[in-house]
Amino acid sequence: MKIEAVELRVVRLPLVTPFRTSQHSQDERIALLVCVHTSEGEGWADCPVSPGPFHEPEFLSGSRAVMAEYLVPMLMAAPGVTAARVQAVLAPVKGHQMAKAALETAVLDAELRAKQMSFAQYLGAVRDRVPVGVSVGITGSLAELISQVEDYLEQGYKRIKLKIEPGWDIEPVRAVRQRFGPDLALQADANTAYSPASAHRLRALDEFGLLLLEQPLAADDLLGHADLAQLLTTPVCLDESITSPRVAAAALRLGACSVVNIKPARVGGYLAARAIHDLCAAHGVPVWCGGMLETGVGRAANLALAALENFTLPGDISATARYFTEDITAPFTLDDGHIAVPSGPGTGTEVLPGVLDRLTTHREILR
């Protein structure tokens, strides 16, 4: 397959409500979209980088630049590019996992559309709909938090994730557990906000019967997570730490986690995500699919991934209405706590040209 052009688009999507974590707050999603035009058709991908390098090392203008100056020219110069070869072709460029993942995903989308094969079929999905949870940001009060959780449960979400940080941890978790009872599937996400010295405070979360505690320490502190996991009865889950199959293998070997959150963009794409899924399955470690405020393009691909066998916990994929009043694809809706896995060719979803053009703030075509 010959890549003839790559289109980069920046789109601005207002969020339904502001979303705050321990690391940052945002009231809109500024998304970077990639469309590859090939000899066999086109494919789309979502590169879920943030505008600035405050949550991840990669950021929007940097990803645009590395694609335009290095990654796209390398792909265009390579003969017979397939999704399986993208990472090898781009290997001379160090880092930039999300940019590489977006290009690989767009090539894979084009490749599968030409073959009339879905992402779900290609990845090895075993179900046609997946249970989904919802991530609840840090709110201004406990009353506001309880109200939000109640609303999401009424909508049918199967699992609640609370964002926490020092000073907003024990009390919000206690309040939600007391209000909604021991049967609520509840977990907490620290987004790297704590240090090993906070172990005593994190141990206080053990009494609430959480499904897991997600990424309490710094992303590069695998040893610290291994030590912490020995002190807690709550399972430790890694998210920001998991950047590749190799790192995932090291984390499992060290005992740094007993659950893994797989974010395809962070690990280098859906092929690497599938490899991590297989690795964790071989070690008896459950996985789930995290979210990065993707547009419908990325949401569709994540649903296909979450339909693999070892994705045994509800992911953060959520319905479109959780984040956006308007998206660049048809909305994904909740049905009894589940979302259907797209079955059409490629990601199985189509970009809406009129909406895309209206929400686009920047467009460039690389030839």
Q: What is the four-CA torsion angle of 268, 273, 276, 280, rounded to 10 degrees?
A: 150
> Measured between alpha carbons, how far is 204 from 186 in angstroms, rounded to an integer?
15
The catalytic site residues sit at: 163, 263
CA-closest candidate to residue 122, choices 295, 259, 261, 304: 304
Positive/negative CA dihedral, 140, 143, 144, 148: positive
List CB contacts of 354: < 8 A, sequence separation 6 or more: none
> Measured between alpha carbons, how far is 237 from 131 in angstroms, rounded to an integer?
19
Joined together, the tokens standing for residue 66 give 């590395």
CA-closest candidate to residue 319, choices 185, 151, 188, 162: 151
How far lies 187's CA from each of 88, 210, 216, 301, 306, in Å? 37, 5, 12, 24, 18
Q: DSSP letter string over 20-51?
A: E-SS-EEEEEEEEEEEEEETTEEEEEEE--BS
Residue with tokens 């989308």: 109
What is the SS3 assignment for 349? coil
Task: Specify the long-range contacts of residues 38-41, CB closer than 8 Å, at least 24 apart.
Answer: 38/1, 38/2, 38/3, 38/4, 38/107, 38/110, 39/1, 39/2, 39/4, 40/1, 40/110, 40/111, 40/114, 41/110, 41/113, 41/114
CA-closest candidate to residue 43, choices 114, 109, 99, 116: 109
> Measured between alpha carbons, how far is 297 from 33 in angstroms, rounded to an integer?
9
